[in-house]
Amino acid sequence: MKQDIREYVLSLGIDDVGITAASDYVSPRSPKLETISPDIKSIIVLAFKELSSCAGSDKDTAMSGRQDLIEFARSSNYKVARYLERNYRAKTFTVPVSVPFAMVKETGGAVGQVSLRHAARAAGLGVFGRHNLIIHPRFGTRVLFSAVLTDLDLPSDPPLTDELCNDCNICVKSCPAGALDEEGKTAVTKCFKTCQPYGLGSNIAFWKKVLDASPDEQQRMMGSVDYWRLYQSILVGNQYYCFDCLAVCPIGTEI
Ligand code: B12
Ligand code: SF4
Ligand code: SF4
């Protein structure tokens, strides 16, 4: 069954796939998988290589490439889930690349129901690097994940044991926010402010200013580029404007 699933996934043009039994998925800060469903027995993790535009200087174009990947990942999740439901009468639950996920107050809205990095590691797709991202043996860090959770009982793929990070520290030095200075921990607020300049925080700050402003000032703010960019970000979800830690890492044979 595993081989059949793997072949189907790869036939969709997805770059790589790994499978882990739910019992081998360990992510201490994430909720238990049972909170999604007590039936979940395994996780099928799909890997998508980032386009080379992620390393370009035009961040709107980089984000556009990311949007393309996100759309492909969403439709891939749906196709894989349908395949499992149709051919194996499986129950399925899809995990997207990023949003939507539960944004609860206690975690500052920064912990998803499933940690795709921990799932990818358990599924043998890569190992953590100094930048706290997963390094894939072929794609390096330029890889994103989505997943399909299922009640099918699938054994785990062998975990990768090679150490891929060479401790060159380029990612740490390149981070414009200094968010990677402390080993093993991403400073979430620092990263968030830099990589999502039109994200939730900026949105709240903008509207607070509008509420406090005079009618003339409010008029001016509506015509500002800041507002246009916030609007576009909400409209099409172009969230990320920093890809540096992901793009500068030299590891990966297919870069
Ligand atoms: C919320 C979120 C964010 C938040 C919070 C990040 C965070 N601290 O987890 C913000 C906005 C800051 C963010 C930033 C980025 N994100 Co983000 N993010 C997510 C999301 C949606 C949920 C993550 C989550 O639940 N985290 C909470 C828990 C699980 O993390 P944690 O236990 O605290 O683990 C941390 C440390 O303990 C450490 N860690 C844990 N175990 C180990 C083991 C070792 C050996 C080491 C060294 C470290 C380490 O790594 C984590 C970093 O803080 C995931 C998608 C998903 N559903 O998983 C994408 C995801 C993690 N993001 C991703 C990416 C690429 C980014 C960015 C590069 C932005 C961008 N342009 O895309 C930056 C990178 C920041 C960085 N270097 O850490 C990718 C990572 C892909 C990969 N190759 O690993 C993911 C998996 C999206 C995807 N579908 O592929 N992200
Ligand atoms: S995405 Fe940018 S700001 Fe965030 S950790 Fe990576 S390099 Fe730093
Ligand atoms: S840039 Fe260097 S230190 Fe950072 S994850 Fe890649 S190999 Fe490791």
- Give the tens place of pLDDT for each residue, 169-224: 999 999 999 999 999 999 999 999 999 999 988 999 999 999 999 999 999 999 99
Residue 109 has pLDDT above 90, yes or no: no
- Give, for ligand 1, the residue of 64, 143, 186 to mutate: max count of ligand atoms closer than 8 Å to Cβ: 186
| Chain position carrying tokens 């540096």 | 244
160 lines ligand 1 (CB under 6 A): no
Nearest alpha carbon, ligand 3 atom 8:
165
Residue 255 has pLDDT above 80, yes or no: no
180 lines ligand 2 (CB under 6 A): yes
Confidence band for 88, pLDDT divided at 50, 70 and 90: very high
- Give, for ligand 1, the residue of 51, 116, 243 to mutate: max count of ligand atoms closer than 8 Å to Cβ: 116
113 lines ligand 1 (CB under 6 A): no
83 lines ligand 1 (CB under 6 A): no
Ligand 2 centre from 129 Cα, in Å?
Answer: 14
Q: What pLDDT does residue 105 have?
A: 86
Pick the closest to residue 45 from 90, 112, 97 (CA basis): 97
Are 24 and 17 a contacting pair, CB within 8 Å? no
- Give, for ligand 1, the residue of 49, 133, 188, 192 to mutate: max count of ligand atoms closer than 8 Å to Cβ: 133
**pLDDT, tens digit, 9 for 90 and up, residues 123-150:** 999 999 999 999 999 999 999 999 999 9
Are 47 and 120 a contacting pair, CB within 8 Å? yes
Could you tell me the CA-to-CA distances from 166 to 110, 130, 140, 155, 178 in Å, in that order? 28, 9, 12, 31, 20
Confidence band for 103, pLDDT divided at 50, 70 and 90: confident
Q: Which ligand is nearest to the CA of 166?
A: 3
CA atoms within 13 A on the CB side of 178: 0
Are 79 and 46 a contacting pair, CB within 8 Å? no
**What is the pTM assigned to this prediction?**
0.96
Q: What pLDDT does residue 254 have?
A: 72
